Amino acid sequence: MSIAPKRCRLVFEKLERDLDRLSAEPEAKKVHRFRTGVRRVQTLLEELSPTPDRNQRRLLKLLTRIRKKAGKVRDLDVQLAALRSMKFPQEPRRKTQLMHQLIELRGQREKKLSKALTREAVREIHKRLKRARKNFNPEVDRDPLSVARQILEPIAKADGLPTEELLHQYRILGKRARYAAEFASKSPESTQFIAQIERIQDALGDWHDWLTLTQSAAARLGDIRESSLVAALHNVTGTKFRNAVTSLSASHAAFPATQALEIGQGGTRKRQSRPSEPAASAPTAA
């Protein structure tokens, strides 16, 4: 299955627009779109083309620097969204305190992102994106779907009980595989593959958002013995973990090894030590 030329061109053009929008105002949606745009261009140049030339290497270096700063802002955006969706009346002051701290940290990270988006940096990225788009010549023999499946091979061989580390691998490699598959010409096979990867990504992303929020809360409010809010967040994260494992197990056509995944009794995932957890009211999360 060949690479879709139009799709390649559009990815470059869209990233140029997203860069301008981000530099004008780094709000949540713009940060997210820019990061995914960079990932797509990175996958195209690193996985589906010959060895990157000098311009492409410099472009990827510039984009990676901005993407990492945008990623730190994005981390706070998803944590804030998760926290706002959580209904937990037991510790309203603690929740408000945590919310304000995350908002303040988000503002600090946004300033660093804006500082990196100088006129000179944006201008150079635009110049190199245009050059990369014009000179891009994908390998004719590279099949995006085959590349996507190759990306998943390391986790297709995974064995044993699911852990946080294993789910992180699924999450990261799943993204790369999806972006590679998106460059394939449209067909029932590619559409089905991408849809399956997206379902997995939704479950893994949901789990990871709550995991990072739980870690942030524990760092600021103390462990489960000091805060019932932190204990409740651990409970939500545990549920999201099980949902993610279930999603993987149901999608073994894309991830062959996942059909054997099961949630064991204890020790199936690495979490903070939880001796005699206090009973916490089950919070609801949207």
Give the pLDDT confidence of 84-104 residue by residue, as tens digits.
Answer: 999 888 888 999 999 999 999
Query: Considering the entire predicted model, what is its pTM?
Result: 0.83
Residue 43 lies in a domain: yes
pLDDT on residue 250:
77
**Which of 263 and 16 is assigned the larger pLDDT?**
16
Query: Which pairs with CB-CB distance under 8 Å and at least 24 residues apart come from 99-108?
Result: 101/220, 102/76, 102/216, 105/76, 106/73, 106/76, 106/77, 106/80
Radius of gyration of the chain (CA): 21
- Counted domains in the chain: 2
Question: How many Å apart are CA 69 and CA 217, to the nearest integer?
Answer: 21
Picking from 120, 142, 164, the residue at the C-terminal end of a domain is: 142
81 and 148 belong to one structural domain: no
Residue 165 lies in a domain: yes
Helices (H), the chain: 5-24, 28-47, 54-85, 92-116, 119-135, 144-151, 153-156, 164-181, 188-221, 228-249
Residue 111 lies in a domain: yes
155 and 268 belong to one structural domain: yes
Provide the pairing of β-strand 284-285 with 86-87. Answer: antiparallel
Determine the structural domain holding residue 160 and report its residue range.
143-280
Residue 286 lies in a domain: no
17 and 97 belong to one structural domain: yes
Picking from 114, 142, 170, the residue at the C-terminal end of a domain is: 142
164 and 235 belong to one structural domain: yes
96 and 12 belong to one structural domain: yes
- Which whole number is the average pLDDT over 206-223? 95
Residue 285 lies in a domain: no
Picking from 83, 116, 142, the residue at the C-terminal end of a domain is: 142
pLDDT on residue 279:
37
149 and 133 belong to one structural domain: no
154 band by pLDDT with thresholds 50, 70 and 90: confident
Residue 9 lies in a domain: yes
Question: How many Å apart are CA 224 and CA 180, to the nearest integer?
Answer: 41
